[in-house]
Amino acid sequence: MNRVRIVSLIAATLGVAVGAGTLFQQETMRQAEAMPDTAPVRAETSLVALATPAPEAEVVAEPVSPSVSGQVAMASVLPSVITTADPLAVPTRGAEALVVDAPLARAAGEADEAPQAGLATLATDPVLIEDLLAEVDACAVWLVVTPENDAMLDMSLFAPCDGGEKVEIDHAGLRFDARIGPDGQLALTLPALETQAEVTVSFSDGRSSSDRIEMSDARLYDRVAIQWHGAAVLGLNAYEFGADFGSDNHIHPANPAAPGDAARGFLMSLGEETDLAQVYSFPSGMSARAGQVELELEVTISDESCGQALSIDTLEVLAAFEAVRREIRLEMPECDGQGGFLVLKNLLPDLTIALN
């Protein structure tokens, strides 16, 4: 990850500075021994100044201890090193080059690549410093969202101190829950509902983490979602191009189909416990067929849902345009022990698919 790489670059840069400071201290002491009648170079002299021989007339009377020279070298070398194209090449004095030992930088974590110009702000940007401190925290939360085929989002969460915890996931108004594994990791896939796709993970204590990715292929899909809270069992049914109940083009939770077929859609169920969702997707922007897709909502009448009011949210996203959201309140039948199903037609708009 870039942020991990930045930490490594800082370690490498500091390693270069320590090495250069030591060499500078040695060079200063050697000059003092070679010129018995003069004092050492002034403390504030940097390695850049060493590149140009100083006029012999300019001599400083007051002596400077080697420890001070080393400290000054540390301060002056750091900005010089991290703004040069080659972090391991230190400015020279005459024909002699002060070269920092490359294994020193590699030991600090930068084996293959060299820091580029412009990293001087790393040590002075308070926001970046705060971010870096959070990154090295043992309980830092890492969330990464990457694009997958068929306008799907691959979400990876690493929260080492939150193993087993329940979290809420939000993307463009689509909300559902998930539980982090005992090892602190959570990985799942969800449909992209917008081209600038942002996913937010919220913890029970109020913390949250977000990541964003460009999803231009989201425009190729029409997507309809339902989401609800509680123990009710719902099913989104899609009858594609006049399909009959139970046929191959009747898409429902027991026959979700799979992405990648330009002639049919697919259904994805999300959520694990109480905040649940289902999303039906059809590749309208590259369809191999034309016609209507009829959508129905089926609700199971059970001991957990009967006699209660059920709130259902629906989301309709056509070609990645802004989602149209509807809130539905459904009064479930009284409990009579008979069970059964409620089939709600005309609750969701049909999709009109053109041949592409």
Separation between Cα atoms, residue 183 and residue 234, nearest integer Å: 31
Evaluate if residue 242 carries a pLDDT over 80: yes
What pTM was computed for the model? 0.63
Residue ending a domain, choose from 80, 105, 136: 136
Residues 103 and 33 in one domain: yes
Average pLDDT over the chain, rounded to an integer: 75
**240 and 298, same structural domain?**
yes
User: Which residue, 112, 136, 160, sits at the end of a domain?
Assistant: 136
User: How far is CA 257 from each of CA 78, 95, 164, 299, 347, rounded to the nearest angstrom?
Assistant: 58, 72, 30, 21, 23
Using the structure block, give the residue that is written with the tokens 């702000």. Answer: 121
Q: Are residues 116 and 160 in the same domain?
A: no
Q: How many domains does the chain have?
A: 2
Q: Which two tokens stand for residue 63?
A: 């002596």
pLDDT per residue over 184-230, tens digit each?
A: 999 999 999 999 999 999 999 999 999 999 999 999 999 999 999 98
Residue 151 sits in a domain whose CATH number is 2.60.60
Give the pLDDT confidence score for residue 30 in this predicted structure. 56
166 and 256 in a single domain? The answer is yes
Higher-pLDDT residue of 22 and 144 is 144
Mark which of 136, 157, 186 sits at the end of a domain: 136
pLDDT surpasses 50 at 275: yes
User: 112-167: per-residue pLDDT in tens?
Assistant: 444 444 444 545 677 766 766 666 678 899 999 999 999 999 999 999 999 999 99
Residues 295 and 331 in one domain: yes
| Of the candidate ranges 55-59, 157-161, 314-318, 343-347, the one whose mean pLDDT is the lowest | 55-59
Contacts 24+ apart (CB under 8 A), 178-181: 178/271, 178/272, 179/272, 179/273
- Residue 305 contacts residue 231 (beta carbons within 8 Å): yes
Are 238 and 232 spatial neighbours (Cβ–Cβ below 8 Å)?
Answer: no
Whether residue 117 is found in the same domain as residue 199: no
Q: For residues 157 and 172, is the Cβ–Cβ distance under 8 A?
A: no
Residue 36's pLDDT is 47
Q: Which long-range contacts (CB under 8 A, 24 or more apart) does 328-332 make?
A: 330/299, 332/232, 332/299, 332/301, 332/305, 332/306, 332/307, 332/308
Domain identity same for 124 and 229: no
Is the same domain home to 126 and 39?
yes
Helix (H) or strand (E) holding 270: strand 266-270
Residues 250 and 216 in one domain: yes
The answer on 149 and 24 residing in a single domain is no
- Amino acid 209: pLDDT: 97
Q: What is the pLDDT of residue 87?
A: 39
Q: Give the residue numbers spanning the domain of 276.
A: 143-353
Among 37-46, 198-207, 263-272, 280-289, name the one with the lowest average pLDDT: 37-46
Regarding whether 294 and 189 lie in a shared domain, the answer is: yes
SS3 helix, strand, coil % of the chain, rounded to 5?
25, 35, 40
Tokens 């594609």 sit at which residue?
240
Q: pLDDT band for 292, please (50, 70, 90 cuts).
A: very high
> 92 with 214, same domain?
no
